[in-house]
Amino acid sequence: MCGIFGVISDQKIVDIDALENISIQLKHRGPDDEGYLLFNADDEKAFKGPDSPVSLEIPRLGNDPGTFTGAFLHRRLSIIDLSDSGHQPMSYAGGRYWIILNGEIYNYLEIKNDLVKKGYTFHSTSDTEVVMAAYEEWGEPCVERFNGMWAFALYDKKEQKVFCSRDRFGVKPFYYTIASSEFIFCSELKGIRSHLRDKTSINNNKIREYLIRGELIIGADQETIFTEILQLMPGHNLSYDIRRSRFEIKRYWELRINMMKNHDLSFYIEGFKELFKDSIRLRLRSDVEVGSCLSGGLDSSSIVCLASKEFDKKMHTFSAIWPGSPFDESKYVKYVNDMTKSKGHSVTYYMEDFLALHDKIMWHQEIPIAGSSFFAQWLVMKESKQYGIKVLLDGQGADEILNGYRGYLYTYIIELAWNFKWNKIFTNRKSWNNQDLTYKSIAWVLLKTMKNRTTSWFPIIDAELKKYNSKDRNGLAFNYRFVPDFLKDHITMTNLPALLHSEDRNSMAHSVESRIPFLDFRLVEFCVNIPSEHKFNGALPKRILREAMKEFLPPEIYWRTDKIGFKTSIEEMIRNDQSLSEIMLSAIKQSDFLCLDWIDVSKIKTDQLFGLYSLARFIEIFKS
């Protein structure tokens, strides 16, 4: 888990001072080591930096760039192969290939064994070297064999090509731009902005989207919050031809909806259980200690309990709790920690330094932070670092692949209706009634499918709302007639990309690697295509996970029917703090975004202060 940056020009000489400044900005992503590669068509030289181990026997980067027009920068968080052999940029095949990798290839040992049988030799125990050998053997399709999270750039000296790839779900970020005949890429927007001397403009399309949706839609397309910078989409490769200064982007993976033959329930329960076990087995591979986030909900509890029973892991767990609030899950956290004999650590946030912490989190997130869950996650990652745990498992993605949100139940009802399965609607009426889903509300759900119109999260004027509606990027439960289609959009476009963005930035801000067992691509493909009738038990969601984990979970977790999610009491604290509310409203009224005349300030509600304040502060902090 690391930070990467690269720049390639057809004529400009590498600016060493700028390169070192970017390295400092990315240090939080990799404090254990830093490395550089300077190159052109005829030569290349590797260097270390001030944060590199003293034992690393390569020269330190100096002020003389020579005639090099290309550069790779790597900040390392050491997780696998802690020795100097894991240093990056790393070379292979006599210096033909050089790579900078952010992420982990969890099945690297299996791939390595296959390559050894083909005659390949290795000089390290890292997954990074395996990536280069795999590329030499299979070319660009090698990424289809990888099970993991990654964003990497591989320089092929012979072909004068840079091959870049991003993992299937975009767990790891990859941003790029072409500016002044330079191809520039980085793990974070700030690295590219720094190289461009902050000559970037905020993307008004994304501002409009935020005001209407209450958050940014991270996965809909290549656009970012800055007009000049794009993201390489998940499941895509980018190949840059240095000689011709051209790049080509190709998709190598897509989540396909291909409903499997309808088996009985036990088939799906056992299939899920085996895939989930193997996913956790792979994600426990590490040369440092692995801990886990633990909210007390079904998802994170399943990870901790299965890891304990199947792999004999007594882990450090980290939880954000809110004593005395409706969001307090501490008793459920205790059930899991007691059962698994885990070393539980909990943290609670109080409001003394809200404004300063808000800006700090947003500097790392590089987007307006839409809600207080960012704070809870930040606190958990910070606590993990304080206890020296560099790797955490997390339950992200379970709701999206296993129908965990209430909206999926709405879509299921619509799916039943469109397939004329009225008997199933009738037989489930009692369970749905217990969840306040009466026949009247069911009729309302079906009626909503006819309208297909977005309402605004903030008080935006009608003209701008109509512009957004014309783009038809709603991602709402009522716009789907088939549950897997809704799941696919949540996984690839709306919910999950935003959650993964937050996860990466909050964890890496504290030099912590977050691993997500529910996003093993084999598990995702299996779960999304399970027939909907097997996923719901009346109104009770995540039936497959619940039954598969029954033998592992405390009964208090197995029988939980409430869903709190990663909520906090911070918004309530803001409502009760009049002076803080006034500070936030004042910042909103002075913000540059009001010049767009998109918001009716007189209609701003107290519950909207957090989101609009975040937007105002984002524009102030990141404006050029």
What DSSP letter does each residue of 425-471 carry, written as one string? HHHTHHHHHHTT--HHHHHHHHHHHHH--PPPSS-B-HHHHHHHHTT
In CATH, what number does 265-402+491-568 get?
3.40.50.620
Mean pLDDT of the chain: 91
**Topology classification of domain 2-201+231-251:** Glutamine Phosphoribosylpyrophosphate, subunit 1, domain 1 (3.60.20)
Sorted by sequence, the CB contacts under 8 Å of residue 205 that are 6+ apart come out as 223
Q: For residue 470, what pLDDT is reported? A: 47
Q: For residue 44, what pLDDT is reported? A: 95
> Within 13 Å and on the Cβ side, how many CA atoms surround 277?
14
The 3-state DSSP class for residue 152 equals strand
Per-residue pLDDT for 35 more than 90? yes
Report yes or no: 262 and 532 within 8 Å, Cβ to Cβ.
Answer: no
pLDDT band at residue 525 using 50, 70 and 90 as cut-offs: very high
Whole-angstrom CA distances from 560 to 402, 553, 555, 556, 557 are 16, 11, 8, 6, 5
Q: For residue 465, what pLDDT is reported? A: 75
Per-residue pLDDT for 565 more than 50? yes
Question: Angle 318-543-291 (CA atoms, 0-180°, nearest 5)?
Answer: 20
Per-residue pLDDT for 602 more than 80? yes
Give the phi and the psi of residue 587 in degrees, each rounded to 5: -65, -40
Per-residue pLDDT for 607 more than 90? no
User: Parallel, antiparallel, or unpaired for β 175-179 and 230-231?
Assistant: antiparallel
- 385-433 pLDDT, tens per residue? 999 999 999 999 999 999 988 888 888 888 888 888 877 877 776 677 6
Amino acid making up residue 91: S
Per-residue pLDDT for 238 more than 50? yes
Beta sheet of 70-76, edge-to-edge order: 44-48, 33-39, 70-76, 2-9, 182-186, 175-179, 230-231
Ranges 296-310, 433-447, 588-602: which has the least confidence: 433-447
User: How many angstroms separate the CA atoms of 614 and 605, rounded?
Assistant: 15
Q: Which of 252, 72, 68, 9 is nearest to 146 (CA)?
A: 252
pLDDT band at residue 472 using 50, 70 and 90 as cut-offs: very low
Give the residue-averaged pLDDT of 146-166: 98
Give the residue-averaged pLDDT of 484-513: 95
Ranges 232-236, 366-370, 400-404, 421-425: which has the least confidence: 421-425
Place of tokens 């999270």: 149
How would DSSP label each residue in 51-80?
Answer: TS-TT--SPBP-S--TT--EEEEEEE---S
What are the catalytic residues?
A: 2
How would DSSP label each residue in 499-511?
Answer: HHHHHHHHHHTTT
Give the residue-averaged pLDDT of 470-482: 61
Higher pLDDT, 215 or 307: 307
Give the residue-averaged pLDDT of 529-543: 85
Per-residue pLDDT for 476 more than 70? no
Give the phi and the psi of residue 406 in degrees, each rounded to 5: -60, -35
Per-residue pLDDT for 473 more than 50? no
Q: Domain residues of the chain, as ranges?
A: 2-201+231-251, 265-402+491-568, 406-484, 577-622
Q: For residue 595, what pLDDT is reported? A: 82
Amino acid making up residue 252: Y
Give the residue-averaged pLDDT of 67-89: 97
- 176-201 pLDDT, tens per residue? 999 988 999 999 999 999 999 988 99
Give the residue-averaged pLDDT of 446-470: 68
Number of Cβ within 10 Å of residue 135's Cβ equals 22
Per-residue pLDDT for 349 more than 70? yes
pLDDT more than 90, % of the chain: 69
The 3-state DSSP class for residue 101 equals strand
Do the domains 2-201+231-251 and 265-402+491-568 sit in the same CATH topology, yes or no?
A: no
